[in-house]
Structure 1
Amino acid sequence: MESTDALVVDTVYMFEKENASLHNTENFELIHADEPTPILRRGQEFSLTIRFNRDYIEQQDIVRLLFNFGSNPNVFKGTRGVNTITNRNNYLSDLEAWSVRIIDVSGIDLSIEVRSPIDSPVGIWQFNIETTISGSKEPPNIYQYDKDIYLLFNPWLKDDLVYMEDEQLLGEYVQTDVGKIWVGPNGSARGREWIFGQFDASVLPACMLMFDKSDIKATSRGDPVMVARTISKMVNAYNANGYKEELNGILFGRWDGDYIDGVAPSAWTGSVPILEQYLDTNGECVKYGQCWVFAGVVGTICRALGLPTRVVTNIVSAHDTNVSLSIDHYYDENMQELPGESYDSVWNYHVWNDVWMARPDLPKGYGGWQAVDGTPQEESNGVYRCGPASVEAIKQGAVGFNYDVTFLVSTVNADVINWKADPTNDLGYTRINGDTKHIGRMLLTKAPWIFDPNGDKDKEDITYEYKSPEGTDAERLTLYRAVRNTPTAKRYYAVPAPENEDLIFKLEDLERVNIGEPFNVTVNITNKSSELRTVRAILWAGSVYYNGVKANLVKRAEGTFVMEPNVTEQLKLHINVDDYLDELVEYSIMKINAIATVQETNQTWADEDDFQVIKPKIKIEIDNEPIVGRPSAVTLSFNNPLKKMLHDCVFNYAGPGVSKNKTIHFRDVEPLEEVRIQHQFIPQKEGKQKIIATFTSKELDDVTGSVEVEVLKEDEEKK
C-alpha cells in the first residue's frame, strides 16, 4: 500500500565489526568500543541496513545517501558523494564515483552495499540520508548519522595508489604494531624496540587533529604523496625561525641533553603516549623528540592511515647544508679545524621512513618505496620537511625528480672532502684527502615477520636499495650523475683530489667499548717512499651527540717524528676510564680524530671515527603465566655500571594488549647497584605480546629492554 508520507529513518546499522573484518581494520580499538566507530578502507564495498518507520516501497520511495568530507563538500572536488538507491544490482564501473546497490528489502529494513571511490580523501566522513516521495514537492526528511566514519587508504586493493602486491608484507608494514628502530653508530648499532600502537583509540583522532592543524586541502587528502608530505611537515614543530610551540607540530626536537621540562627522547617506549598528549592538549607540541622518535611517530601515523611504512636507519648519515653533495671539513695552515667555514655535519646515524606508493607524477619505475623524513633538517619549498623521494631515484642519482632527491642522495652517498687553507691557491684552499666510502655505511630496517627481543636476527640490510655497492663503477657513476645536475656540487667536485702521495694513513675503527673499559686511538702509517719523512700528527678523542655535535674534549696529544723509508709505524693515544666517564653525554657516543702532515711533501691527511660506549640492558621477567583479565606482575632489573649515584631515575614500560605506558619514578640508585622494580598489570589481549621498557636518569640514560610473552585465555590456564 502506498503512503503519502516520506520515509523516516529510525536507525542505521553499520555492522562495524563485520565490515572491519573485510576491510582489515578489525584491530582498531575504536571498533570494539561500547559505541563502535566505523573504520573502512576506500574503494571497497561495505554493508549497512537502514530501518524506516514503515515498509520501504521501491516504486514510490526515494532514498538518497550523502557522504560529506571537510567543511565545504563538493561532488566535483571528490569531497561529496551522492547516490540515490535504485533497484539496479550492479555498481557503476567508474571506481572514482560513489556507488550503491540493494542487497535485500525486508519490510521496514533496507540492506544495501556501498562502495566509496578509490581516490577518496582519507579521514572522517559524515553520512546523511534524505528521504522523500516520488513527485513530492515537500522538502525531504533528513537523517544525520551521529558517528564519524573513518575512511582509510586501501593497500589491499589493486586500484589504490598505495597497493602492495605481496599481501603478506602488509602484515608487517601496516598491521604490525610493535617493531624495531636501529640506533647507534657504525659497529654498535642495535635494534631498539618501538611500540607503534597504531590501533590505539587515541591514534586516529590524533591524526585527524594533525590534519586539521595543517594546511593540506581536503581535496589533497586522497593523494598519498601530499599526505606523506604533510605528515613529514607536521610531525615536527619547526620553521625557519626555529622551534615554535605554537606551530601545531606534534614533536618538539631537542639534541642537547636538557629535557627537564619534558620527556627525554630515550625514555619513550612508543608513539601512543606522544599522540595521546598531542590529542589531549588540542595540538600542543610534545617535548621531546629526536630522529628515531620522529620516525616512530611517522610510522604510527602512516600505518594507522593505511600507508605501508617501514623505518629506515642510515648508519653514518650526511647532513649536507649547501647542496654540494659533499661533507666539507676545513683546516687552517697549521691543521687546526675551521668549523665556521662549513655547517655540514655527519650524524652517527639518522632515521627516517619509507612509505609505499605509486608515483604517477614521475616516470615509470620510480614508484614503490618513497623516503619520508619527519626530522627537521633543511627546508623543502619553504618548510622543514623531506620527501616523499623515490628510493629508486635516490639510487639512480635522478635529482631532477620531486621531492628532495638531491638531499637524500647526499645523505646516503656524499663524499667527505677535506680542505686546507692555501693562500697561494686561487680558491684559498687546497683539496687534501677525503673519503668516498664513509657516508651511508649501512641502511637497516626491520625484517618482515621476525621479532628478536634478545638480538638482531630481525635486522634487514637494505643498503642496495638506496645505492650500488661502495666503490663500484655504478656507485661512482650515480653520484657523478647527481653532481652533473647540481650546480653547487659541480664546483666542489671540479677540484681534483691529491695524487701520488707516498705515505698511507689508516685510523683503526673502534666498534664498541663496554662502559668502564679503556680504549686506544690508533693510527697505522706506512712510508712507501725510499726517503725519510717527517710527520706531524695530532690525535684526540671527545664525546659527541649522535647528530655529530661536539660535546666534551676527553684527551688530545700531538707530536713530530721521523719515519724511515719503507716502514710501518703505529701511533697510539691511550684513554683511561677516568678520562672519559664524566665527559659522556646521552647515548655515550665518542668521536676519535687524527690529522697528520708530511713536512717534505706537504701531504696532509685527516680522518675520524665514531663508536659507542655500551650500556647494560633491562631484564624483563613476568611472574607466572599472564592470563587475560587477571593481575600479573612484571619485574624490571639491570646493574648500574657506574661507580656513581644515579639521580632522577625513571622507568617506563608498555606493550599493546598488555599495558598502556606506565611511568614509574624510582629512588636514587647506588654505585654498581643491582636495580630491581616490580609492577602489576592486567593483560587485555591473548596471544604473543611484547613488553618494552626504558630507564633514564641524570647520569645514565638510554637503557632499554624487551621481552615477548604468551598471554593465555582464562580457560587456557594450566591446572
Structure 2
Amino acid sequence: MQQVNLEISENLERHRTDGFSGSNALVVRRGELFRVSMQLKARPFDPRTDTLRIKIMLGRLYVIMPVTFSAKFSLSRWAAFMDSESLNPNNPSIFISAPSSASVGCYRFKLSVFTQDTMKVCAVGKFILLCNPWCRGDAVYIPFEDQREEYTQNDSCLLFMGTSTNLVSRPWSLDQFEPDVLEACLNLLNVSPQHKHNRRADYLNRSNPVYISRVVSAMINCEDDRGVLKGNWSGDFSDGVHPSMWTGSGDILRGWAQSGYHPVKYGQCWVYAAVMCTVMRVLGIPCRIVTNFNSAHDTNGNLVIEEFYSETGQKLKSTKDSIWNFHVWVECWMTRQDLGGGMDGWQVLDPTPQERSRGVFCCGPAPTKAIKERRVDLFYDIPFVYAEVNADVHTLVMSQGRVVSRSVDTDRVGPLICTKAVGLPRLQNITGDYKHIKSLTSTVSSNRSSTSETSTLRRGTKRMAAFLTLDKTPVAGATLLFTLKVINKQSVAKMIKVHLNAQTKEYNHSPSETFWEAHCKIQLAPLEVKVLKQQILPPQYEDLVGDDLVNLAAVVEDMVSQERVLAFEEFNIASPQLVIKIEDEENVVLNKEQAASVTFANPFSHPVSGLLNVSGGGLVKGHANFRMFPLRPGGIGEQRINFLPSKTGTKMLQASLVLSNKTTVRGFKMVTVRRV
C-alpha cells in the first residue's frame, strides 16, 4: 500500500474551502479540479507500461474511470487525468474533476495501478464534496462575486427583529468554519429519515439542491425526526436554554451531534433560521436570513386573520389564526428545473415547524417570484408563504359576546421584508421581491422605520375617529410618551368614554395580562378634535418588558350610541447597547493577542448586575464569561477582554449581558484580521 497526499492546502485554496482547514479534511466543490499525488516507494511510475484506475465511492454508489493523459474533461461526468509534461515518476499527481451535478457528501476513493502483469491497490483516501456557487454549471451558481462571498463565505450575520418601525439588529455567529460544524452538517444528512429509509436514493438525490433544502428544512426541527432543535413558545425554559440566549449556531450543532443527535432545547423562529443558514452555507448553497414583519399564520387558508379586543381595549386570544410581530426564515439561491423557466433565484425555506408539507414539518423551497405572482399551482408551499406576507386583518371589538366594532386592514401584514445587506452591517429591504408595491427603498438603516419616524394606527367610522401615536421611539429607561387624538366628525356634541390598556406580549403570542391602564370621560363639541397626552413611567414597565413587546390599545365609546372605535399599536422598546472598542483596531493580526473593552451604561431606574458573555468565530475560542457587579442608575461599567484571532478576514466580536431584571443587552463589533 502506497501513500497518497491529498494536497489539502492547495486544494482548499483553489476551491475556496480554506475556512475548513481546521478539520484536516479535503473539502472540495463540484465542477472544479482537485489534485492528489502518490508517493511511490517500490519503483517510479512508468507511463509506457503502467496504467492507473480510480474508483470513487459514495456509500455503495461508485464510478470507476481510467486516469488518462488528456486534460479535457466535461462538467457532466467524473474524470481523472495526469499532466504528462509535468509528470514526476516518483510522486505522480492526479487531477480529479467532479461533475457540477455530483451528490454532496463524504466520498472515498481508491487508486489502482496496473503493470504489464499485475494489479495493485496503491492508495486510498477521502474527500468531502460540496455545491459550488462559483461554477456556472452548478444549480446553485450565483453570478455575482460579492453575493457568493456574502451568502456562502461570511460566517456572521445580523438578524432583524422587533417591529417594522423600531428594528432591532441582533448579531449572530454562523460558525460554519468552527470545529466540528462541518461534520455535524454532513451527519445531519445521514441522520435524516430519507437516508435511513433508502440510502441509495438519498445519495442520488443529493445532487439536487431542491431535495437537499427540503431535507435540511425538516431536520432543523425535531418534530418528525432526530432533528437539531426543539421548539418552545411556552415561556418555561427551565430544562434548556432560553432561545434569546443563543449567540451562534456552533454550540447548537455541536451539542446536537455530541448528544447522539438528541434535539437541543430550545429554539424559536430566528434560531431555526440561523442554524439552517449555517447548514446551507456549509453545504455550499447560497443562503440568507430573512425577516417578515407582521407575519400572518392563516390556519384555514382564507387569507383573513381575525383579532379580538375587549370593550376596554384588552387584546383577547380567541382564534387559531395569528400575526407574529416578526417571523424569520431563510432564502436559498438555486435553479428550479422542476418548475420550468422563470422561477430560478431566491427560494423561501422555513424550518420553524408551523404546518406540514407533504406530511412533514418543513416549508419550501418556494420561489419568491412565484409568491409575488401568486402562482399557488407550483411547488412548494406557496399558498402558505403567500398568506404570511399578504393576508388581510379583521379587528373586532367584543362586548358581552357580540361584535360591537369591526375594522379591516389590508396593509398591516408584510409591510417590510428584509435581510442583511451584502458586505455591510445594515438592513436591505427586499419587500419588492415578494409583493407588488408602489415604491421601494432598497436599503434603510437598521434603527429607522421604513416609512416614518413614528408609527400611527388609525381607526374610525363616519361619526368619529381615533388616532394612537407614539410621540418618539420607545427606549428602555425612558418614559413612554404617546398621544390619543379623538375626532368628532358630526355637528352634534358627544360624551365619550376612553379606555387605554397596555399589555406585554411575546412576538408570536397574544398579550399577557394588563400592566397599565387608564380610563376617562371627555366631552367633544361638534366637529371638535381633542388630543390626550399620556405616559407610562419606567418603573411601570421595565421589569416586565425585557425582550417582549407592548400592545397598547385605546377604545373610544360614544356613550349615547354606544358606537366604539379601536386604535392600537404594538411596539418594542429599544434596549440599551453594549459598546465594544478594539484598543489597536488597525493592527489586528493573526495569532497575536489583542485587547478590547465592553462598556455598559445602566439606563434603568434601579441598580442592575449581570453576566457578560463574549464570543466570536475566528476571534474567541468558545465563550468568555465575566460577572458584572451592581451598577447604580446611570452608572457605567467596563470590562476589558483579550482575544486571539485564529482566522483572517472580517470577523464579528459580539457580547451579550444578561441583567438581573432578565433584560439581555447586546453589542457587536466587526474586526478585520490581517496576516502578519
The answer for the alignment partner of 2:33 in structure 1 is 45
Change (3 A) 1:461 1:84: same
The answer for the alignment partner of 2:179 in structure 1 is 201
Residues 371-395 of structure 1, C-alpha deviations (whole Å, 9 max, x = no match): 1122222222222222111111111
Change (3 A) 1:569 1:312: same
Cα offset for 1:290? Answer: 2.4
> Which residue of 476, 497, 500 corresponds with 1:539?
500
> Which residue of 614, 619, 624 corresponds with 2:574?
614
Question: Residue 679 of structure 1: SS of its match in structure 2?
Answer: strand
Change (3 A) 1:358 1:607: farther
Q: In 2, Cα distance between the equivalents of 1:430 and 1:152?
A: 59
Letter paired with 2:553:
N
Change (3 A) 1:663 1:81: same
Change (3 A) 1:504 1:643: closer
Equivalent residues of 1:552, 1:583 under 8 A apart: no
Structure 2 counterparts to residues 91-240 of structure 1, below 5 A: 91=73, 93=74, 95-104=75-84, 105-133=87-115, 140-142=119-121, 145-146=124-125, 148-216=126-194, 217-239=202-224
Cα offset for 1:185? Answer: 1.6
- Give yes or no for the alignment of 1:437 onto 2:417: no
Q: In 1, Cα distance between the equivalents of 2:477 and 2:507?
A: 20
TM-score (norm 2): 0.87
Equivalent residues of 1:544, 1:552 under 8 A apart: no
Q: In 2, Cα distance between the equivalents of 1:173 and 1:307?
A: 8
The answer for the alignment partner of 1:415 in structure 2 is 392
Question: Residue 229 of structure 1: SS of its match in structure 2?
Answer: helix
Cα offset for 1:332? Answer: 7.5
Letter paired with 2:467:
K
> Which residue of 13, 16, 19 corresponds with 1:27?
19
Change (3 A) 1:579 1:370: same
Structure 2 counterparts to residues 250-289 of structure 1, below 5 A: 250-289=228-267
Change (3 A) 1:384 1:665: farther
- Give yes or no for the alignment of 1:701 onto 2:663: yes
Equivalent residues of 2:460, 2:466 under 8 A apart: no
Change (3 A) 1:644 1:237: farther
Change (3 A) 1:365 1:344: same
Question: Residue 46 of structure 1: SS of its match in structure 2?
Answer: strand
Equivalent residues of 1:184, 1:349 under 8 A apart: yes
Question: Residue 538 of structure 1: SS of its match in structure 2?
Answer: strand
Cα offset for 1:101? Answer: 2.2
Question: Residue 11 of structure 2: SS of its match in structure 1?
Answer: helix
Change (3 A) 1:646 1:519: closer
Q: In 2, Cα distance between the equivalents of 1:114 and 1:548?
A: 54
Letter paired with 2:591:
G
Cα offset for 1:28? Answer: 1.9
Change (3 A) 1:405 1:571: farther
Residues 606-629 of structure 1, C-alpha deviations (whole Å, 9 max, x = no match): 343222222221122334555533
Q: In 2, Cα distance between the equivalents of 1:577 and 1:430?
A: 34
Gaps of 5+ in 2: 195-201, 441-458
Residues 12-56 of structure 1, C-alpha deviations (whole Å, 9 max, x = no match): 2222222222212122233xx6xx311111122222223443343
> Which residue of 30, 48, 56 corresponds with 2:45?
56
Question: Residue 97 of structure 1: SS of its match in structure 2?
Answer: coil
Q: In 2, Cα distance between the equivalents of 1:44 and 1:364?
A: 26
Q: In 2, Cα distance between the equivalents of 1:180 and 1:556?
A: 36
Q: In 1, Cα distance between the equivalents of 2:423 and 2:472?
A: 29
Q: In 2, Cα distance between the equivalents of 1:595 and 1:433?
A: 13
The answer for the alignment partner of 2:433 in structure 1 is 465
Letter paired with 1:676:
E
Residues 42-75 of structure 1, C-alpha deviations (whole Å, 9 max, x = no match): 12222222344334344554432111113x32xx
Change (3 A) 1:430 1:578: closer
Residues 154-196 of structure 1, C-alpha deviations (whole Å, 9 max, x = no match): 1111111111111232111111122212121232213222222
Q: In 2, Cα distance between the equivalents of 1:379 and 1:390?
A: 18
Q: In 1, Cα distance between the equivalents of 2:54 and 2:400?
A: 78
Cα offset for 1:670? Answer: 4.2
Q: In 1, Cα distance between the equivalents of 2:299 and 2:554?
A: 24
The answer for the alignment partner of 1:454 in structure 2 is none
Cα offset for 1:668? Answer: 5.0
TM-score (norm 1): 0.82
Equivalent residues of 1:170, 1:308 under 8 A apart: yes
Q: In 2, Cα distance between the equivalents of 1:464 and 1:443?
A: 8
> Which residue of 309, 330, 339 corresponds with 1:353?
330
Q: In 2, Cα distance between the equivalents of 1:682 and 1:632?
A: 6
Equivalent residues of 2:471, 2:483 under 8 A apart: no
The answer for the alignment partner of 1:317 in structure 2 is 295
Q: In 2, Cα distance between the equivalents of 1:362 and 1:604?
A: 50
Equivalent residues of 2:470, 2:481 under 8 A apart: no
Residues 300-343 of structure 1, C-alpha deviations (whole Å, 9 max, x = no match): 11111111111111222222222222211246899876523x12
Q: Percent identity, please.
A: 30
Question: Residue 573 of structure 2: SS of its match in structure 1?
Answer: strand
Equivalent residues of 1:29, 1:201 under 8 A apart: no
Equivalent residues of 2:315, 2:511 under 8 A apart: no
Equivalent residues of 2:312, 2:501 under 8 A apart: no
- Give yes or no for the alignment of 1:661 onto 2:622: yes
Equivalent residues of 1:233, 1:384 under 8 A apart: yes
- Give yes or no for the alignment of 1:86 onto 2:68: yes
> Which residue of 552, 558, 582 corresponds with 1:592?
552
Cα offset for 1:562? Answer: 5.5
The answer for the alignment partner of 2:3 in structure 1 is 11
Equivalent residues of 2:108, 2:124 under 8 A apart: yes
The answer for the alignment partner of 1:481 in structure 2 is none
Cα offset for 1:274? Answer: 2.0
| Greater Cα offset, 627-636 or 210-219 | 627-636
Q: In 1, Cα distance between the equivalents of 2:412 and 2:613?
A: 36
The answer for the alignment partner of 2:421 in structure 1 is 447
Q: In 2, Cα distance between the equivalents of 1:202 and 1:631?
A: 24
Change (3 A) 1:368 1:44: same
Cα offset for 1:689? Answer: 3.8
Cα offset for 1:429? Answer: 6.6
Change (3 A) 1:429 1:464: same
Letter paired with 2:594:
S
Task: Say how many residue pairs are matched.
Answer: 645
Question: Residue 19 of structure 2: SS of its match in structure 1?
Answer: coil
The answer for the alignment partner of 1:343 in structure 2 is 320
Equivalent residues of 1:119, 1:160 under 8 A apart: yes
Q: In 1, Cα distance between the equivalents of 2:50 and 2:622?
A: 53
Equivalent residues of 2:70, 2:83 under 8 A apart: no
The answer for the alignment partner of 2:491 in structure 1 is 530
> Which residue of 271, 280, 285 corresponds with 1:307?
285
Question: Residue 608 of structure 1: SS of its match in structure 2?
Answer: strand
> Which residue of 592, 596, 603 corresponds with 1:641?
603
Question: Residue 554 of structure 1: SS of its match in structure 2?
Answer: strand
The answer for the alignment partner of 2:197 in structure 1 is none
Question: Residue 512 of structure 1: SS of its match in structure 2?
Answer: coil
Change (3 A) 1:703 1:582: closer
Q: In 2, Cα distance between the equivalents of 1:550 and 1:466?
A: 29
The answer for the alignment partner of 2:474 in structure 1 is 513
Q: In 2, Cα distance between the equivalents of 1:251 and 1:333?
A: 40
The answer for the alignment partner of 1:490 in structure 2 is none
Question: Residue 27 of structure 1: SS of its match in structure 2?
Answer: helix
Cα offset for 1:561? Answer: 5.3
Q: In 1, Cα distance between the equivalents of 2:669 and 2:399?
A: 57
